[in-house]
Amino acid sequence: MLDQIVFYFFAALAVISALLVVTRRNVVQSAIFLITALLATAGIFLQLHAEFLFIVQVILYAGGIMVLFVFVIMLINLDVSIHQVQFNRQWWLGLLLALVLGAQLILAVALGRSGLPLGEPAPATALEPSTQLVGRVLFNEYMLPFEIASILLLVAMIGAVVMAKKKV
C-alpha cells in the first residue's frame, strides 16, 4: 500500500513538473521544474530499490547538471528572450507528430504486455546490497565500457572548454 502511494505520488509529480518544464515562458522556472522532475525520478529509483542510482541522480543530475544549466542561464541575458514568441511557427505539426509517437508507444506497451512476462517481479532481496552489486557488475563485465565512458567525459570536458573560450 505504501509502495503504491509513493510510486503514484512521485509519478504524478514527475509528469506535472515535466509538463511545466516544456510550457513555462521563463527559463529559470523551467529549470526549477526540471529539478523537481529529476528529484521525483530519484524517488522512483528509490522505490525500485536502486539506492545507488538514487544518490547518483540527486548528486549528479539535480546537483551538477542543473548548476551548469543555471549558470548558463545567468550568463545569457534573459530579458530579451522572455518577450519573444516561445513556440515554433509549426508547433501544431510538431505537437501532432509527438502525440502520434506517444500513441504508438502506448499501443506498443499495451499490445506487448501480454507477450512479455511482465507479471511477477523478482523478490526485493534479489537486488539487496544494491551498491555492491552495481560495482561488481560495473567492474567485471562492463569494465571496457566504463573506461570508454571516462574517455567520453574527457572529450566532453575539452570540448566544453574549447567551445566556451573567447578566441578559438
Partner 1 sequence: MIPTSHYLFLSLGLFTIGVIGVVTRRNVIIILMSIELMLNAVNINLVAFSRLVGSAEGHVFAIFVITDAAAEAAVGLGIIIAFFRNRETLLGDEMDLLKW
Among 58, 133, 144, 147, binds partner 1 (CB under 8 A): 133
Q: Which set of grid coordinates corresponds to residue 90?
A: 509549426
- Sign, CA torsion 15/18/23/26: positive
Q: Does 98 bind partner 1 (CB under 8 A)?
A: yes
Residues 44-73 close enough to bind partner 1 by CB under 8 A:
44-45, 48-50, 52-53, 56-57, 60-61, 64-65, 68-69, 72-73
Among 2, 111, 122, 144, binds partner 1 (CB under 8 A): 122
Among 3, 79, 115, 144, binds partner 1 (CB under 8 A): 3
The 3-state DSSP class for residue 82 equals: helix
Task: Give me the least distance between CB of 72 and partner 1, in Å please.
Answer: 5
Among 15, 63, 74, 147, binds partner 1 (CB under 8 A): 15
Q: Computed over its alpha carbons, how large is the radius of gyration of the chain?
A: 20
CA–CA separation, 96 and 62 (whole Å): 31
- Sign, CA torsion 21/90/79/66: positive
Q: Does 31 bind partner 1 (CB under 8 A)?
A: yes
